[in-house]
Chains A and B, each alone.
Chain A
């Protein structure tokens, strides 16, 4: 394996030794999927200049001075936007000391903030980047309190600057798990949430905190922007009945910017969700009654909600669900469209569910997850249809900067491409 040069350069980039500048380039002759829900365009051109997309389409003239990449036989798309991930929060998820996804023993809940804990050099970041994931939201997951804390929106660029927006959303779980954490019942989960919002309100009022406050001051303070609608509240909830209860929260707290997370039974209450204008981040392929709150789970959930007018993105790419497989999940929804009685998505809709729709939910509509003039230059060149399981990125650009695709896995792959140790042990092959 004489691949020394490339990985070495990649490592330099990864540790930030080479401040990378965005490149100006055009990709021509490619199948281009813009991510906006439309069907792919054949034989199209994408032009990136100054880190931004400046032109996309089939009749684009490319100036002579613009470096051109031959995209024939390739697919070109915006980068994948993976919602509700744990990227940068672990090295080995099962090795607790390396895992910052939840703070089981902490006195704090809502105040927890993933931003300062994120590690852009984590292998899961590098592996996801190589898989075409360029942006993500990272959540702090609930453990000792129903509030997980504040998640961030990040980019996966190979540089030290990972956080795009810290404290981008608050995460609370109100389903079975919320009930278990809150004291053994969902009744406790809901009253815990309401009390917390009240304590946040008290903090801002003249009277100040009450003597019987249950939340720490930082936790209450962290909920103020939620109460005021400045920070979205992501609510993990699965069961139809509890989705209705969550939607009802806005009767008492009209400014809450709710986002439902999970919503396995969302299709049963899809019209209510649509009427409330609340977006959903769903697990696309859940189809088993893993809990009693997921009895009606079906792979058609996303398609049915979409048909009812709900804004649905795929997400939950944490733990065993890898962000680089978001495309497989989306592809399966296209497969459903061929099955009698199932409700799937069109190709364009499915791809949007892992690009533009996540970006919109995260507050970056029109800027990320889409290829159109003015959008950020996150561009992935694939060796085939990106929703197909056989395809993979050939080149990945973030903000117009070409990204390294090497990581621990590719280095192992190269070392063990053969098992020849006739001269030296494998440890010298690097």
Chain B
């Protein structure tokens, strides 16, 4: 029923879900290296953590995101930072508010490495369709943050239903090089700058396969084939390297982004489905001197899990999407478990305003599919698929993604095991500020768009 399904069926073939994809990463540190860039990163984050109460979560099962599990655990945070994570004997300092979390679960805030919230917001009307600058096959000069609509109601659902505290907003996958991504804190804000994750590197979205060649082949221009995809990519890299080496260069937005990638300051998030194509991209990265941070969608990653491990590239995947386009035909539910089992890095991503509300469930499905073929991955490691591994591939793992003293207090208290369909976030803190509380009707963000509309402030 969904309109969504109907529209897809009606022939939108490929853009269907996401077919788009890509990458993105946020900003901040990166630009210093490109000499022509302004010294100060433009459009800087203005986000400041909201006030919080020193809090002790006591008695929960704690999955720390880094593979650790503490039963009857204690999690302390204050002033926006995690202060301590331990067992029942961890002393609770004076002045802390204690929350009895027995029978409940605590994880780091959920992180989605692949979202189009804000750039393809709801309502999904043409006027707000800002995710693909589909007028040129390479647009490294565009920045997703300039498209993000901070009033997208999808952010609020991701927080309340999904426990999402950080997310990477990517341009779509119409282009071979879609532009810069932006990493956001999932905090409501009047401005995008007020959501930007302080200290997060930028990402750059790339796409291989069907989408770019279809979009541009359909316009009668290059690329119209997979070999065309690679030719355009390679020439673009060569031109960027030449620009970078030119002492008399003038500012050029596209090349500044590409130079940031070549300098290792901007992380490549590469939409790519097929195993053979990912292997070609790895060679292209070697040829041109850059690194792929993660392959997104990667439905065939299980066929080259060894290669991904050797190249230290994460695979960001759905649990079970398959068959919606030719390059997704070989998707299998065991993908994540097989990648993990080979020693490579798994990230569960959404690419979807609904899926982002259930990354924990998707991870649980993928875990169970592995278990049925004898790959038994403990819950505490699976939680890393939607927390620390995502942070790692986004370059923010030193700041968030796991429960460790000194990190940002991005924390979810779940009312049951997050790997169960029956569990939901009860409370969500971002930098120690309580931004969602299932027990307090008013501690739920309502976007400007939804004010005065039927269902305003509803549980959704």
CB-CB under 8 A for A286 and B455, given A92-B323, A320-B324: no
Query: Would B302 and A335 count as touching, CB distance under 8 A?
Result: no
B334 at the interface (CB under 8 A from A): yes
Residues of B within 8 A of A390 (CB): 364-365, 367-368, 371, 419-420
Most chain A CB within 10 A, of B6, B8, B458, is at: B6
Residues of A within 8 A of B306 (CB): 419
Query: Would B1 and A84 count as touching, CB distance under 8 A?
Result: yes
Q: How far is the CB of B174 from chain A (nearest CB, A)?
A: 15
B205 at the interface (CB under 8 A from A): no
Chain B residue nearest to A89 in the complex (CB): B9
Residues of A within 8 A of B438 (CB): 339-340
Q: How far is the CB of A349 from chain B (nearest CB, A)?
A: 14
Chain B residue nearest to A285 in the complex (CB): B354
B5 at the interface (CB under 8 A from A): yes
Residues of A within 8 A of B293 (CB): none
B241 at the interface (CB under 8 A from A): no
Contact of A93 among B16, B367, B372, B421 (CB under 8 A): B16
Interface-facing stretch out of B42-50, B57-65, B153-161, B222-230? B153-161
The number of chain B residues touching the other chain, given as a range, is: 35 or more
Residues of A within 8 A of B322 (CB): 127, 409
Query: Would B1 and A288 count as touching, CB distance under 8 A?
Result: no
Contact of A102 among B10, B332, B367 (CB under 8 A): B10
Interface-facing stretch out of B183-191, B195-203, B446-454? B446-454
The number of chain A residues touching the other chain, given as a range, is: 35 or more
Residues of B within 8 A of A96 (CB): 11, 13
Interface-facing stretch out of A23-31, A171-179, A271-279, A363-371? A171-179
Majority secondary structure of chain B interface residues (helix, strand, loop or mixed): loop
A216 at the interface (CB under 8 A from B): no
B460 at the interface (CB under 8 A from A): yes
CB-CB under 8 A for A338 and B415, given A283-B1, A287-B161, A392-B368: yes
Residues of B within 8 A of A10 (CB): none
Query: Would A94 and B424 count as touching, CB distance under 8 A?
Result: no
Query: Would B8 and A320 count as touching, CB distance under 8 A?
Result: yes
Q: How far is the CB of B378 from chain A (nearest CB, A)?
A: 13
Contact of A335 among B320, B365, B422, B453 (CB under 8 A): B422
Interface 0/1 of A270-298, CB less than 8 Å to B: 00000000000111011111111011111
Residues of B within 8 A of A328 (CB): 361, 365, 421
Most chain B CB within 10 A, of A290, A318, A392, is at: A290
B303 at the interface (CB under 8 A from A): yes
Residues of B416-460 contacting chain A, CB below 8 A = 416, 419-424, 438-439, 441, 449-450, 453-455, 458-460
A-B contact pairs, 26 of them (CB 8 A): A92-B325, A93-B13, A93-B324, A94-B325, A99-B9, A99-B11, A104-B10, A177-B3, A177-B7, A288-B353, A289-B123, A296-B453, A316-B1, A320-B16, A324-B320, A331-B422, A334-B421, A334-B422, A335-B423, A336-B424, A339-B424, A339-B438, A389-B421, A409-B322, A409-B333, A416-B302
